[in-house]
Amino acid sequence: MKYKIRRVDLKARVLSMSVWHMERMRRNLFLGEAEVQLGQWDWSQTQSQPTWQNLQPRVKFSTEAIISRGTILFSIKFVPPGSEGRGIPETGELYIWIREITGLLPTKRGAHNTYLKSVVLPDESGISGQQTRVVRGSANPVFNHTMVYDGFQPSDLLQACAEMTVWNSQPSSCLGVVRLSTGAGVSYGQSVCWMDSTADEMNVWSSLIQSPNRWVDASLPIRPNLQLCSG
């Protein structure tokens, strides 16, 4: 059996193998299964020596066990106010260039019809939300879409969070999220649930703050099963 997958996505995947007895007139009989955590596999093995795994009783699959639904590739840049001369731009501008998603976990029916939403929190007005077009039937959707947000001062970046959520269009469901922030848990003195960035997400946001006027390229796993704080 052969699967096409990027090595960077392997750490979030599990190879599941089940053994069955085929019954001609009745339902097939489950005999056991084995699971291999691909992120822990020794990929330095070059010989095709067999590896034995003990068959285990069936374990009910839990989506909570998935640590990533795929990888989002994007670039981000902050242009400070007045940095282009003659007072332009008047306020700081945040650019989020959504390039593509790779290794998006499919459903039993096949690949998703995928689009991506972004919002910069806190967003009391509810007008900062932007989204890409829908890419249909692809596990590696390419968007090449740039979101632009203005009205920022450099100090605001310490209080803000750029949230990117990945969606399936039919039926509408959120597949996962990436949150770029300091991860402080607090924004403008208030405790907020969306300031929960991982170490990798915080590193991207820190690079953005420290590198004004420069694109920061990033590749981050899409976190599943998170309650959306932005609605």
Who wins on pLDDT, 11 or 98?
Answer: 98
Supply the pLDDT for residue 98.
97
- Least confident range of 47-51, 91-95, 153-157, 203-207: 47-51
The residue among 109 and 131 whose pLDDT is bigger is 131
- Residue 97 backbone phi and psi in degrees, to 5: -100, 105
Helix (H) or strand (E) holding 164: strand 161-168
Query: What's 70-222's CATH class?
Result: mainly beta
Within the chain, all domains assigned CATH 2.60.40.150 are found at 70-222
- Over residues 6-30, the mean pLDDT reads 79
Contact between 129 and 123 (Cβ < 8 Å): yes
pLDDT band at 230 (very low <50, low <70, confident <90, very high): low
SS3 category, 71 = strand
Highest mean pLDDT among 4-8, 39-43, 65-69, 129-133: 129-133
Specify the range with the lowest mean pLDDT, choosing from 62-66, 96-100, 156-160.
62-66
- Give the dihedral sign, CA 177/182/184/190: negative
Whole-structure pTM value? 0.73
Give the confidence band of 225 by pLDDT, cuts at 50, 70, 90. low
